[in-house]
């Protein structure tokens, strides 16, 4: 943690109504169904020289995307612009991206996001040809936070059309993939009738759907929004309003993530090459949602022997635990064991937690799930391409018994005899406390002309900050688009 956080307590006379952003926090007075919710996703932009897109045009396209995304309670917020991207992005800089370049861009994109203060967000790269040799407007991978787009021409619809492409691709990132639930048209609950699920390319057939093949629609269905919301904590900062006359409260997010270098494993197959790891939870949740993604697709006609693991130093101290994968002080190890032959029907995935102090192993209550991750082009052809595999599982917190607020974690990929790849990061169970926080101490909605005390915390000493009150600055100047 850099420096020492400070708290500023203020009382001002508010002349306009306060509209709290996603990072706002305040006393929750009821815990039933929320009346409103919001997720702000930090965005890093890459602008390639031959993309024909400047920073102003990219920001305009993102604002157009926000007009659509707000219907699903998401807002994109630009935090950094790389113009030009410079070296080290995994491509040759011509803006015409081959598959190998796209894969490298996702690695570097994830690593750049991991270096931001919140270690999360999405990366949007504006190039000339998102898929080299095609006219596709955008491309993304299921669950992966890097999106590649091109600017739409005036004839195609300009900034509004580019915004639709961004919203569409973000839908795929937030797991609107092949066969996702679109809507239960006849109300029978089985989602097996025509148009009730997405096609094999992750597209729905409604003419007004953002997830239709052309991306020309203007809405997500309630089922699609539900699916997107279930993955918001991996990429955004979130808040919930529990009562209409009280401000929203910041969700108490816990988080850890790592994007590993591609091709740095010592194994014979890319299924042993770690790509990304996510751990997400809330402070009052009993479990941690985990995702381990590897750079390869599981073979169908071969015997699989793979073990993926997360080693936790639960007390952030080397005095307890064991040395595991080259890391000292590992007290708990969560294993995902993958065996068998898919084509023969013997494929099996199991999960367990080892207490290295007591030497006991206990199975995870829920069986981990393996999912093939595909690349989605924003055109009919080419079709989706399998590019990676994710293992999804839930870890009961009681099985870890974390005592340190910041617990070091090592992720591994290997088999029954070797560990071929590792990546380390920190699971921060107090991540929400480190975000800038706006806490109110007034009652209900502020009344113009009356004192309304509030607290600003989570900043570095002498950090400047801006306070926005319902699209106005504190001195009453209107801020269009803020």
Q: What is the DSSP letter of 432?
A: H
Residues 328 and 426 in one domain: yes
Q: pTM for this one?
A: 0.88
**In a 3-state reduction of DSSP, which class is residue 400?**
helix
CA 57 to chain centre: 24
Q: What is the DSSP letter of 99?
A: H
Euclidean distance between CA atoms 235 and 145, whole angstroms: 8
Element at 406 (helix H, strand E): strand 406-414
Mind listing the pLDDT tens digit for each residue in 446-475?
777 888 888 877 777 777 777 666 544 444
Full domain range(s) for residue 62:
22-175+230-234
User: Is 200 within a domain?
Assistant: no
Residue 200 has pLDDT above 80, yes or no: yes
| 353 assigned to some structural domain | yes
- Note whether 215 and 164 are within 8 A (CB): yes
**Confidence grade of residue 205 (pLDDT, cut at 50, 70, 90):** confident
Is the residue at 108 inside a domain? Answer: yes
**According to the model, what pLDDT value does residue 386 have?**
95
CB atoms within 10 A of CB 207: 8
Residue with tokens 């294993």: 335
Q: Average of pLDDT values for 122-133?
A: 96
Of 2 and 390, the one with more pLDDT: 390
Q: What is the C-alpha separation between 168 and 214, in angstroms, rounded?
A: 9
**Same domain as 164, residue 257:** no
% of residues, the chain, pLDDT over 70: 89
Indicate whether 10 pLDDT > 80: no
Query: Taking residues 304-320, what's their average pLDDT?
Result: 97
pLDDT, greater one: 279 or 480: 279
Which is nearest to 72 in space by CA: 249, 209, 246?
Answer: 209
Confidence of residue 355 (pLDDT cuts 50, 70, 90): very high
CB-CB contact of 249 with 25 (8 Å): yes
My answer on whether 168 and 288 are in the same domain is no
Whether residue 460 lies inside any domain: the answer is no
Report residue 480's pLDDT band, with 50, 70 and 90 as the boundaries.
very low
Rounded to an integer, the average pLDDT of 197-212 is: 89
**Distance separating alpha carbons of residues 6 and 278, to the nearest angstrom:** 29
State the pLDDT at residue 469.
Answer: 60
Domain annotation covers residue 2: no
In a domain, 369, yes or no: yes
The answer to whether the beta carbons of residues 337 and 416 sit under 8 Å apart is no
315 and 425, same structural domain?
A: yes
Q: Residues 20, 38: contact at Cβ < 8 Å?
A: no
**pLDDT value at 183 more than 80:** yes
The DSSP code sequence of 15-78 is SS-----TTEE------SS-SEEEEEEEEEEEE-GGG---HHHHHHHHHHHHHHHGGGTEEEEE
Express each pLDDT in 78-123 by its tens digit: 999 999 898 778 889 899 999 999 999 999 999 999 999 889 999 9
Instruction: List pLDDT tens digits, range 246-303.
Output: 777 889 999 999 999 999 999 899 999 999 999 999 999 999 999 999 999 999 999 9
**Residue 248 confidence (pLDDT):** 79
Distance of alpha carbon 37 from alpha carbon 242, whole angstroms = 9
Q: How many domains does the chain have?
A: 2
Residue 214 in domain? no
Q: Which residues pair with 11 in a beta bridge?
A: 453
Taking all residues of the chain, what is their mean pLDDT, rounded to a whole number?
Answer: 88
**Is the pLDDT assigned to residue 18 strictly greater than 80?**
no
**pLDDT for the residue 313:** 98
Answer yes or no: is pLDDT of 311 > 80: yes
Residue 382: per-residue pLDDT: 63
**Same domain for 169 and 260?**
no
Q: Are residues 287 and 427 in the same domain?
A: yes
User: Which tens digits make up the pLDDT trace of 214-251?
Assistant: 767 889 999 999 999 999 999 999 988 888 777 778 89
State whether residue 387 is helix, strand or coil: strand
Poorest-confidence range of 243-247, 311-315, 319-323, 414-418? 243-247
pLDDT value at residue 477: 46
Tell me which DSSP letter residue 269 carries.
S
């Amino acid at each position: 943690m850099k420096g020492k956080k400070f708290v500023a307590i203020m009382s001002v006379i508010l002349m306009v109504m306060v509209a709290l952003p996603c990072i706002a926090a305040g006393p929750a007075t009821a815990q039933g169904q929320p009346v409103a919710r919001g997720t702000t996703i930090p965005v890093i932009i890459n602008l390639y020289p031959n993309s024909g897109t400047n920073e102003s045009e990219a920001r305009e396209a993102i604002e157009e995307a926000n007009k659509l995304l707000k219907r699903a309670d998401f807002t994109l917020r630009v935090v950094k612009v790389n113009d030009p991207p410079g070296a080290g992005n995994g491509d040759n800089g011509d803006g015409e991206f081959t598959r190998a370049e796209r894969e490298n861009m996702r690695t570097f994109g994830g690593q750049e996001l991991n270096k931001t203060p919140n270690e999360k967000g999405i990366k949007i790269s504006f190039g000339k040809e998102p898929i080299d040799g095609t006219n596709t407007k955008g491309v993304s991978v299921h669950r992966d936070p890097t999106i590649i787009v091109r600017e739409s021409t005036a004839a195609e619809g300009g900034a509004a059309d580019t915004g639709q492409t961004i919203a569409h691709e973000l839908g795929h990132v937030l797991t609107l993939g092949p066969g996702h639930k679109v809507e239960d048209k006849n109300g029978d609950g089985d989602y097996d009738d025509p148009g009730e699920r997405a096609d094999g390319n992750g597209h729905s057939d409604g003419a007004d759907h953002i997830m239709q093949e052309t991306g020309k629609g203007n809405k997500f269905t309630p089922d699609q929004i539900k699916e997107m919301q279930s993955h918001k904590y991996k990429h955004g900062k979130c808040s919930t309003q529990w009562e209409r006359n009280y401000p929203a409260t910041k969700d108490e997010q816990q988080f850890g993530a790592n994007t590993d270098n591609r091709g740095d494993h010592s194994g014979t197959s890319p299924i042993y090459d770690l790509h990304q790891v996510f751990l997400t939870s809330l402070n009052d949740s009993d479990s941690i949602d985990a995702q381990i993604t590897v750079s390869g697709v599981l073979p169908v006609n071969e015997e699989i022997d793979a073990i993926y693991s997360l080693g936790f130093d639960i007390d952030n101290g080397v005095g307890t635990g064991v040395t595991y994968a080259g890391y000292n002080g590992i007290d708990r190890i969560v294993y995902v064991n993958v065996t068998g032959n898919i084509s023969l029907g013997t494929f099996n995935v199991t999960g367990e937690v080892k207490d290295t102090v007591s030497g006991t192993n206990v199975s995870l209550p829920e069986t981990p799930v393996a999912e093939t991750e595909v690349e989605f082009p924003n055109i009919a052809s080419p079709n989706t391409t399998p590019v990676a595999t994710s293992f999804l599982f839930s870890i009961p917190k009681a099985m870890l018994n974390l005592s340190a607020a910041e617990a070091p974690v090592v992720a591994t990929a290997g088999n029954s005899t070797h560990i071929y790849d590792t990546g380390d990061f920190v699971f921060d169970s107090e991540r929400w406390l480190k975000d800038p926080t706006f806490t109110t101490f007034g009652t209900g909605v502020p009344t113009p002309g009356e004192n309304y005390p509030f607290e600003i915390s989570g900043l570095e000493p002498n950090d400047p900050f801006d306070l926005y009150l319902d699209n106005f600055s504190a001195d009453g100047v209107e801020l269009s688009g803020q």
